[in-house]
Amino acid sequence: MDQDEILLDAEERMEKAAQIFHDQLKGLRTGRATPGLVDTIRVEYYGSPTPLKQLATISVPEPQQIVIRPFDASSISDITKAIQASDVGLAPNSDGRLIRLNVPPLSTERRRQLVSRVKEFAEEARISIRNIRRDANKHADQSQKGKILTEDERDQTKDKVQELTKKFENQVNNAASEKEKDVMEE
């Protein structure tokens, strides 16, 4: 692999690791209702797991309530079952046309648990990013041994990979601290 291929591959993989982390944060419940809480729920619909956002419109009419309006009214029971089976921890209320989810305020103990969960997710993301850095550095060393890169180019590549690592770790750290503040706010 030449220098550009190594850097491009590392950047794409680090971007994916950061995106996965951001998606995990969306699924964490704060004291406020957001569509992100239920976006990732998969509903068994006609025999195949389908993302909830493809089966219904999800809105937040009030800060403590999520309303799910299915496109097909016959799917309400399937959606209700999927919400109950998920780890969202919300009880669905259905009136036959739409489903309401009331988001209760969080206790201080639950907030602390969520903050520790955010820290776990952040650490997993940082570990992924560092593993990608290790792989990219290994490719640079192999390319130098295979006479594709000179020693100077290898060192340049490693420096650029380190810059990418810092950039994406900072993104993860910033997102984690924002989410922690969000969770701890009353």
Give the tens place of pLDDT for each residue, 106-126.
788 888 888 898 999 999 999
**pTM value surpassing 0.75:** no
Domain for residue 129, yes or no?
yes
- Are residues 19 and 41 both part of a single domain? no
Domain for residue 96, yes or no?
yes
Residue where one domain finishes, among candidates 87, 102, 117: 102
Give the tens place of pLDDT for each residue, 69-113.
999 888 888 888 888 888 777 888 888 888 998 888 878 888 888
Domain for residue 31, yes or no?
no
Classify 47 in phi/psi space as left (phi over 0), alpha (psi -120 to 50) or beta: left
Q: Residue 66's domain is classified under what CATH number?
A: 3.30.1360.40
Q: Which domain holds residue 144?
A: 3-26+107-184
